[in-house]
Amino acid sequence: MSTNRTFTMIKPDAVKNGHIGAILEKITAAGFKIVAMKYTQLSLRDAQEFYGVHRERPFFGELVEFMTSGTIVAAILEKENAVEDFRALIGATNPADAAEGTIRKMFATSIGENAVHGSDSDENAAIEGAFHFSGREIY
């Protein structure tokens, strides 16, 4: 995967609250091209593996429970400087600290249920994209 890509999930809270369309609109309006996308649900094993770096954190159980609680939208996005620009578009992890106009400020409810995921590096974007999509699902 080239380094102008990032990986995102619209998390179960935002799906349940009916924000898929509005969030995708913000993402495309910001210049990101969707190169892969699916509507799916994480199994317990999927969530434990995906968030494996947080295994020792006190919120890990809560995070896995939340991320498996409902359907998600997973997508690979392409844009120049994708990882950094997407993190700026979604805002701080805690919506209370997120800047005005960011996706988390607009659609997240709490630090745990924070509407969207965004990769934190080119390396993780590639790993996370490959976790969810095979080569023939990426366009």
Q: Which residues of the chain form contacts with Mg ion (CB under 5 A)?
A: 120
Q: Which is nearer to ligand ATP, 2 or 121 (CB)?
A: 121
- Given ligand ATP, Mg ion, none, residue 114, with its beta carbon under 5 to 8 Å by kind, binds ligand ATP
Minimum CB separation from ligand ATP for residue 67, in Å?
A: 8
Q: Which is nearer to ligand ATP, 25 or 62 (CB)?
A: 62
- Minimal distance in Å, beta carbon 121 to Mg ion? 9
Residue of 17, 43, 33 lying closest to 116 (CA atoms): 17
Collapsing DSSP to helix, strand or coil, 24 comes out as helix
Between 96 and 139, whose beta carbon lies closer to Mg ion?
96
Does 132 qualify as catalytic in the annotation? no
**Looking at beta carbons only, is 3 or 53 nearer to ligand ATP?**
53
User: Cα(36)–Cα(138) distance, rounded to whole angstroms?
Assistant: 5
Binding interface with ligand ATP (CB under 6 A): 54, 59, 62-63, 93, 111-112, 114, 117-118, 120
The residue to which tokens 């199994």 are assigned: 43
Cβ–Cβ under 8 Å, residues 119 and 125? yes
Residue at shortest CB range from ligand ATP: 93
Cα distance between residue 4 and residue 16, in whole Å: 30
Angle at the Cα of 44 from the Cα atoms of 75 and 97, rounded to 5 degrees: 55
Q: Which residue of the set 19, 54, 117, 132 is catalytic?
A: 117
The Cα 36–Cα 10 span in angstroms is 13
Q: Which residues are catalytic?
A: 117
